[in-house]
Amino acid sequence: MAMVLQMTTFLQQYLYAQVHEAPKSSDAIRLGILSTASINSAAIINPAKSHGGVIVSAIASRDLKPAQETAKKYGIPKAYGSYEELLNEPGIDAVYISLPNGMHGEWTKKALNAGKHVLLEKPFTANAEEAREIVKLAVEKNLVLVEAFHWQFHPAAHAVKAIIDSGKYGQVLRTSARMTSPAGSIPRSDIRWEYNLAGGSLMDMTYVVSSTRYFVGPVTTPREVAHAKARPSPHDPKVDDAMEATLRFDVEGRMVESKIYSDMWRANVFGLIPRIWEAPSIEIELEHATIYFYNFMMPHIYHYVTIYDKRTRKTTTEKHYSGGPKWGTRGEAWWSTYRYQLEAFADAVREQQPPHWIELGDSIAQMETIDMVYEKSGLGKRQPTQRMV
């Protein structure tokens, strides 16, 4: 289901970019992209077209030809045949890094040392140790660095968080988050299955950890991972096709139990029917209500929030595409999660306070949690990619 959502977003972002293309300001942030990954069009290229303060001005690949082809396809002015060349370009203010997971740490360090602000694809790094290193460097350089958990910038996420934090339904008791993709929807040749690139379902579908921590919060890491079981890939037992785990958080002296489930090769029903109804979702049980947030990862496509009140036994349904407790009158209903994220990133680069932000400490705690799950499962935490000479 996750791949279906991603493809739908590609189409949606393309169509809206044609209709809502904005004229660029003379002081627009000039953004470069490291990699020619397929996510780039939905995550940054098309959202930037509707933002007058951001210009995607360069893209780089390990080889010049794919960079040139991508630049031509999307009207990007410059193409480079190495990441170093782009980082050495003085006209670039910031970079979006969508390289494989295991390369995030290395190239974020290089970007920060080159004086570039960084929007870094999730997962933040290969592990928590790397996360602490790049955070330290970003602080020393006084540069913007943020993990691209785009879903968390959307008004729907803020609306659900506000309901929880209001105290109307009491305290959080437990949560359960899932994210799956039908068997065969992610080819076995995909980099997500590569251990040497820090692959695995929990790394790719780390949204289940992100959403859990966001709605259970304010917390950092779980007190313990009570249970973690991986379903190893038949092609590499070090890589998880699927991961299920139970996390226990100590929230102001209360124990909150959270279950997570990620699966990049979810078995089809009767071996034939993909579970397309399994959009990334999270259930949050409070003392007096149960909240279910359907499709929290891509709420701009479609989502709903149901609230079952245990006292009245009534269920209400909400949808939130714009506005809300953080964005107010800013933003449009057609904005995707990526467009909201870009708006916040541009604010931060301009030294303005974004309506929502993911703090660096939160990204470290995210990677610490992922490390804990991998260690508990027996697979061991992921490692940075060894650079090929």
| Residue where a domain terminates, one of 91, 117, 151 | 151
**30-68: pLDDT as tens digits:** 999 999 999 999 999 999 999 999 999 999 999 999 999
Reported confidence tier of residue 348, pLDDT bands at 50, 70, 90 = very high
Same domain, residue pair 159 and 99: no
For the chain, the domain total comes to 2
Reported confidence tier of residue 196, pLDDT bands at 50, 70, 90 = very high
Residue 70, domain CATH: 3.40.50.720
Note whether residue 271 is domain-resident.
yes
User: Does residue 199 carry a pLDDT above 80?
Assistant: yes
**CA gap 24, 53 in Å, rounded:** 6
Helices (H) and strands (E) in the chain, counts: 13, 14
Tokens of 188: 């076995």
Same domain, residue pair 117 and 196: no
Same domain, residue pair 117 and 234: no
Reported confidence tier of residue 10, pLDDT bands at 50, 70, 90 = low
Question: Are 110 and 83 in contact, with CB atoms under 8 Å apart?
Answer: yes
| Residue where a domain terminates, one of 151, 182, 198 | 151
Reported confidence tier of residue 99, pLDDT bands at 50, 70, 90 = very high
pTM value? 0.95
Same domain, residue pair 285 and 194: yes
**CA gap 172, 291 in Å, rounded:** 10
DSSP at 25: P
Tell me which residue range forms the domain holding 248. 152-326+358-377
Q: Which of 338, 230, 248, 242 is nearest to 5 (CA)?
A: 338
Cα-based torsion angle of the residue sequence 187, 101, 302, 320 in order, rounded to the nearest 10 degrees: 180
Same domain, residue pair 96 and 208: no
Note whether residue 290 is domain-resident.
yes
Residue 270, domain CATH: 3.30.360.10
Same domain, residue pair 211 and 303: yes
**247-305: pLDDT as tens digits:** 999 998 999 999 999 999 999 888 778 888 889 999 999 999 999 999 999 999 999 99
Same domain, residue pair 363 and 222: yes
Same domain, residue pair 73 and 44: yes
Looking at residue 349, its amino acid is: V
Note whether residue 350 is domain-resident.
no
Note whether residue 389 is domain-resident.
no
Same domain, residue pair 30 and 133: yes
Note whether residue 182 is domain-resident.
yes
Note whether residue 382 is domain-resident.
no
Q: Which of 229, 232, 234, 240 is nearest to 198 (CA)?
A: 240
Note whether residue 348 is domain-resident.
no
Note whether residue 200 is domain-resident.
yes
Question: Are 33 and 58 in contact, with CB atoms under 8 Å apart?
Answer: yes
Question: What's the confidence (pLDDT) of residue 34?
Answer: 98
| Residue where a domain terminates, one of 151, 169, 203 | 151
Same domain, residue pair 262 and 304: yes
DSSP at 331: S
Same domain, residue pair 17 and 88: yes
Lowest-pLDDT choice from 93-107, 164-178, 206-220: 206-220
Same domain, residue pair 158 and 66: no
Active site residues: 122
